[in-house]
Amino acid sequence: MGSYSTKVDRKWQERWEKTRLYSFDRSRVDKKLYCLEMFSYPSGAKLHVGHWYNYGVTDSWARMKRMQGYEVFQPMGFDAFGLPAENFAIKTGVHPYDSTMANIATMQEQLKQMGGMFDWDYELSTCEPEYYKWTQWMFLQLYKAGLAYRKEAPVNWCEHCQTVLANEQVIDGCCERCDQEVTRRNLTQWFFKITEYADELLEKLDELDWPEKTKQMQRHWIGKSVGADITFNVIGHEASFTVFTTRADTLLGATYVVLAPEHPLVEQITTPEQQAEVQAYQNEVAKQSELDRLTTTEKTGVFTGAYAEHPLTGVKLPIWIADYVLASYGTGAVMAVPAHDERDFEFAEKFDLPIVRVVRPASDGVDDCLPFTDYGVLVNSGVYDGLTSEAAKERIVAQLAKVGRAEFRTNYRLRDWLVSRQRYWGAPIPIVYCPECGTVPVPESELPVELPYDVEFTPDGKSPLAKAEDFVHTSCPQCGSAAEREVDTLDTFVCSSWYFLRFPDPHNSEVPFDKEWINKMLPVDMYVGGAEHACMHLLYARFFTKALRDLGYLDFDEPFTKLVHQGIILGPDGNRMSKSRGNVVSPDGYIAEFGSDVFRMYLQFGFNYIEGGPWSEDGIRAVARFVDRVERFIDRMVELKAQGGGKTTIDKGEKELNFVRHQSIKGITEDADKFQFNTAISRLMELTNALYRYDNEQDEKNVAFLSEVTDDLVRLMAPFAPHFSEEMWERLGNSYSVFNQAWPEHDPAALEREVVEMAVQVNGRVRDRIEVAADASEEDVRAIALAAEKVQPYLEGVSVRKVIVIPKRIVNIVVG
RNA sequence: GCCGAAGUGGCGGAAUGGCAGACGCACUUGACUCAAAAUCAAGCGGGUUUCGACCUGUGUGGGUUCGAGUCCCACCUUCGGCACCA
């Protein structure tokens, strides 16, 4: 057995700390590389495999970059506000602040055991007043800019968590946190106007070096759709309403219109006879949970008794309400064209409403049964007959625009971000309600609005802060009269939407960050974290960056230049790890047994990083064996050097070893750069195998050369097994630290072979192999291939039609 | 239903359109050992074999190409996202 263990880990952790090896040198900011992993929630449990996979493996990438000469900035902090701490408190009585602080201390300890290059001088924690003061400041800046506002709206309510949720936090109609059904409630809540940036958030995606899948998810989430608003007058009322449509070309096919049940016009226009039915329907819809709504496929709706006037023909169109029209999208009203829309068609069939075709397929032979939703050529549309859908859209909207009845318009699926939460453990919203002055922002000089410690935080649907008398009662910052504080707290996603901006300057008490400094340090060059944040954190952070840019606080457009998502490590049974399945792999035991580098290196070697996969007990043992194998060779090297002697010439054996050496340097550098750690490690194994082969096969060794290659092996291994490599580096008699060594660069000349083996195919099947000079001409290769012994039988009695020569790889002889 | 990704040995996983299965695990054999472990060496997709080889093989079926795991079309399966967005 080798000597590597947690003892070696500790030795080097202490040395690194004492010598401040990883301390960020601000004077080298021109060489900076900001490498960031998504910070973690300080839960009571210890670091899990996922943390290691994210932080440990990314740290190896950052270490390589350091050796390549970058000044790496890799901070670590804690996303410390949030529901779990509060729920834990409700269960056990331990205050969220106390449990969070204890958890942070434990996690720090464990992160240090991992051996990451984190510079703890830059640590931050979102639940500290030092930090959330500036979260509140952010809120105020957005408020002043009109990007934070309060409104009453139907919002998602989780009965179990006793709070509202953002759209992004509702998954299949259920709370993302507790899986309980989400219901809709009309509540007055705070929103951030992320929709203001919808277009830029969409456009700028093209420039980002992000996984295509993630960009696609954001594109879809933003959901740009180009169309027009068309206004309909209500017959017999001084009222009108506007619909949004992407198919203005089908306007002549509109046979009725539908308002969302919550549409404000409904009360006004409903006829007395329909009153009861309409109200009953509205109540029923309001009662429905999101889940009911998703699972009901059958269309429902009620006639209001009122009619609208078709804007082109003046024809009477019945006005219905139905819950397939959403209050929160577009204008909350649609023109129904059953002939050319599946939903309208279904509804019209069920309620026996007229269906009029106004588009037919542009070419014959196309299935034209109704509903026909493709573009085509207009019919039954008077002066517009014969136009294509595309042309008709333009023409019809332009026509109506002249009389102020339509305009072109773009809509987005993205909704504004609901940020208030009826919970205790979050940043208080810095707003005061004054009976005289109304909604008043807390002056910046009075920040932070501190979260009081002694609060009754049992959830009952009211914000816990509402019960803290000392907190609630205050005086109005404007007029001084008695006033009340906002008692909701901010969604924790608000805290994490700007933490990467605070990291380079985390203790600044004057401003959230220094503009000049941040412009040098940002954007983050490499951001690594889970894919589950695609439409939440990653979208919010982009929004914050853009808003702060427009407010003049920073000068860049995007926060994260390059993004990588790690995969998920599954349990040994191939399922997601969960306590109930009993397949949870916890790092601690393995680290105690094998040392942290073996654990880290297995995570790099055993999986495709992006994909993840099932944990394997045998896999980690294989890595432990490899580490031992390297150590044995290092000891052998020390012995050889002590013996002295040997030759100094570079012969066949040396050339072969040198080839593998430079091939490894090239491959490891390229692979690790691409986060392909599994192949990088396998190349380390190949280099190790080559060293053994050389030692076994060469009777007379070039010890100086062998020593050079061995040093390279340790340099190349250092990012992936940092503690072990330091130890080996020292054992080889080299000076501290291997991480101050330059990363090896490959010599292209060493990769040029004099003789190469090529496969010879006849009609695509390999029949022989030939050895030719690497610089042989195509004619020479062709001649040698045609003369190859084992291809002869295949050339008899046929004629050679063609010979394809791919230099250094293959020859294909086509016969027939 | 729509959008996207992926299907390769017993397993984890490799392969700029150019010798499929790198590297490793498991397994088999041999060396060392009193023995085991560890280590070292060799073999290891499937089938046929006169032991020289030959055939077949990357989810299924077609296609493009001198040549396809890789590109194109259709389908099947799995996973992820969205789900009345007008």
Element at A468 (helix H, strand E): none
DSSP string, A44-87: SS---HHHIIIIIHHHHHHHHHHHTT-EEE---EE---SHHHHH
A296 touches strand B (CB under 7 A): yes
Q: Are A165 and A418 in contact (CB under 8 A)?
A: yes
A625 touches strand B (CB under 7 A): yes
In three-state form (DSSP H/G/I as H, E/B as E, the rest C), the secondary structure along A146-157 is CCEEEEEEEEEE
First and final C-alpha spacing in chain A: 61
In A102-147, the DSSP E strands lie at 124-125
Q: What is the mean pLDDT of residues A448-455?
A: 92
A246 touches strand B (CB under 7 A): yes
A81/A135 Cα distance (integer angstroms) = 12
In three-state form (DSSP H/G/I as H, E/B as E, the rest C), the secondary structure along A635-649 is HHHHHHHHHCCCCCC
Q: Are A376 and A385 in contact (CB under 8 A)?
A: no
Q: Are A576 and A593 in contact (CB under 8 A)?
A: no
pLDDT score for A180: 76
Q: How many CA atoms within 13 Å lie on the side-chain side of A342? A: 4
Q: What is the mean pLDDT of residues A273-277?
A: 92
pLDDT score for A165: 79
Q: Are A186 and A152 in contact (CB under 8 A)?
A: yes
Q: Are A122 and A24 in contact (CB under 8 A)?
A: yes
The interaxial angle of helices A677-697 and A617-643, nearest 10 deg, is 40
A219 touches strand B (CB under 7 A): no
A591/A41 Cα distance (integer angstroms) = 22
Alpha carbon separation from A455 to A125, A252, A450, A659 (Å, rounded): 21, 62, 12, 69
Tokens 């009222």 -> residue: A239
C-beta within 7 A of nucleic chain B, residues 247-286 of A:
247, 260
**Coil, strand or helix at A321:** strand
A568 touches strand B (CB under 7 A): no
Distance A50 CA to B84 C1' (A): 37
**Coil, strand or helix at A723:** helix
Contact partners, residue A599, CB within 8 Å, separation at least 6: A52, A56, A587, A590, A591, A620
Residue A365 has pLDDT above 70, yes or no: no
Percentage of chain A lying above the pLDDT 70 cut: 98
Q: Residue A296's pLDDT band (boundaries 50, 70, 90)?
A: low
Q: Are A263 and A143 in contact (CB under 8 A)?
A: no
Of A209-213, A592-596, A791-795, least confident by mean pLDDT is A791-795
**Coil, strand or helix at A471:** helix
A247/A254 Cα distance (integer angstroms) = 11
Alpha carbon separation from A229 to A104, A199, A222, A259, A405 (Å, rounded): 53, 18, 19, 14, 8
A291 touches strand B (CB under 7 A): no
Token readout for A566 is 């790690």
Distance A680 CA to B45 C1' (A): 25
The angle subtended at Cα A759 by Cα A754 and Cα A764, nearest 5°, is 150
Q: Are A119 and A75 in contact (CB under 8 A)?
A: yes
Distance A183 CA to B52 C1' (A): 77
Q: What is the pLDDT of residues A716-758, one digit of tens each?
A: 999 999 999 999 999 999 999 999 999 999 999 999 888 888 9
Contact partners, residue A483, CB within 8 Å, separation at least 6: A432, A433, A434, A435, A437, A440, A474, A475, A476
Q: Residue A290's pLDDT band (boundaries 50, 70, 90)?
A: low
Percentage of chain A lying above the pLDDT 90 cut: 71
Q: What is the pLDDT of residues A504-549, one digit of tens each?
A: 999 999 999 999 999 999 999 999 999 988 889 999 999 999 999 9
Distance A814 CA to B49 C1' (A): 28
A773 touches strand B (CB under 7 A): no
Of the candidates A198, A188, A184, A185, the one whose C-alpha atom is nearest the C-alpha of residue A147 is A198
DSSP string, A173-189: TEETTT-PBEEEEEEEE
Find and give the residue nearest to B26, measured CA to C1': A618
Q: Are A741 and A794 in contact (CB under 8 A)?
A: no
A811/A758 Cα distance (integer angstroms) = 7
A157/A461 Cα distance (integer angstroms) = 10
Distance A74 CA to B53 C1' (A): 59
Distance A133 CA to B5 C1' (A): 42
- Give the mean pLDDT of chain A: 91
In a 10 Å sphere around its CB, with 0-12 CB exposed, 13-18 middle and 19+ buried, how is residue A204 labelled? middle
Amino acid code (one letter) for A612 = G
Backbone angles phi, psi at A28, to 5 degrees: -100, 30
Bridge partners (DSSP) listed for residue A32: A71
Contact partners, residue A113, CB within 8 Å, separation at least 6: A6, A9, A13, A591, A596
Nearest nucleic acid nucleotide to A802, CA to C1' distance = B66
A691 touches strand B (CB under 7 A): no
A804 touches strand B (CB under 7 A): yes
Find and give the residue nearest to B24, measured CA to C1': A622
**Coil, strand or helix at A728:** helix
A640/A648 Cα distance (integer angstroms) = 14
C-beta within 7 A of nucleic chain B, residues 717-756 of A:
none
Distance A377 CA to B42 C1' (A): 74
Token readout for A535 is 């439409």
Q: Are A489 and A420 in contact (CB under 8 A)?
A: yes
Domains and CATH numbers, chain A: 7-122+494-570 (3.40.50.620), 138-219+423-489 (3.40.50.620), 224-412 (3.90.740.10), 629-750 (1.10.730.10), 753-815 (3.10.20.590)
A689/A695 Cα distance (integer angstroms) = 10
Of the candidates A330, A332, A335, the one whose C-alpha atom is nearest the C-alpha of residue A318 is A335
Q: What is the pLDDT of residues A125-169, one digit of tens each?
A: 999 999 999 999 999 999 999 999 998 877 888 878 788 877 777
C-beta within 7 A of nucleic chain B, residues 389-428 of A:
411, 413
Distance A429 CA to B86 C1' (A): 36
Q: Are A333 and A263 in contact (CB under 8 A)?
A: yes
Query: Which tops the pLDDT comparison, A297 or A473?
Result: A473
pLDDT score for A294: 64
In a 10 Å sphere around its CB, with 0-12 CB exposed, 13-18 middle and 19+ buried, how is residue A66 labelled? buried
Residue A285 has pLDDT above 90, yes or no: no
Q: What is the mean pLDDT of residues A5-14?
A: 95
Distance A320 CA to B49 C1' (A): 80
The angle subtended at Cα A601 by Cα A590 and Cα A662, nearest 5°, is 155
Backbone angles phi, psi at A314, to 5 degrees: 75, 5
A32/A26 Cα distance (integer angstroms) = 9
Count CB neighbours of A723 within 10 A.
Answer: 25
Q: What is the mean pLDDT of residues A626-651?
A: 91
Distance A687 CA to B74 C1' (A): 46
A119/A562 Cα distance (integer angstroms) = 21
Q: Are strands A800-806 and A810-815 parallel, antiparallel or unpaired?
A: antiparallel
Q: Residue A794's pLDDT band (boundaries 50, 70, 90)?
A: confident
Q: What is the mean pLDDT of residues A781-803?
A: 87
Distance A772 CA to B36 C1' (A): 50
Token readout for A733 is 């008699």
Q: What is the pLDDT of residues A181-209, one digit of tens each?
A: 777 777 889 999 999 999 999 999 999 99
Q: What is the mean pLDDT of residues A325-351?
A: 92
Of the candidates A684, A740, A601, the one whose C-alpha atom is nearest the C-alpha of residue A4 is A601
pLDDT score for A91: 84
Q: Residue A812's pLDDT band (boundaries 50, 70, 90)?
A: very high
Tokens 């973690």 -> residue: A40
Residue A288 has pLDDT above 80, yes or no: no
C-beta within 7 A of nucleic chain B, residues 588-617 of A:
605-608, 611-614, 616
Distance A812 CA to B62 C1' (A): 25
Q: How many CA atoms within 13 Å lie on the side-chain side of A368? A: 13
In a 10 Å sphere around its CB, with 0-12 CB exposed, 13-18 middle and 19+ buried, how is residue A73 labelled? buried
Distance A807 CA to B70 C1' (A): 20
pLDDT score for A167: 76
pLDDT score for A283: 87
Nearest nucleic acid nucleotide to A613, CA to C1' distance = B12
Residue A32 has pLDDT above 80, yes or no: yes
pLDDT score for A604: 95
Contact partners, residue A276, CB within 8 Å, separation at least 6: none
DSSP string, A782-810: HHHHHH-GGGHHHHTTS-EEEEEEETTTE
Nucleotides of B under 7 A from a protein CB: 3-5, 11-16, 18-20, 22-26, 38-41, 54-55, 66-68, 80-86
A71/A809 Cα distance (integer angstroms) = 41
A440/A477 Cα distance (integer angstroms) = 7
Tokens 């100086």 -> residue: A704
Of the candidates A168, A174, A147, the one whose C-alpha atom is nearest the C-alpha of residue A539 is A168
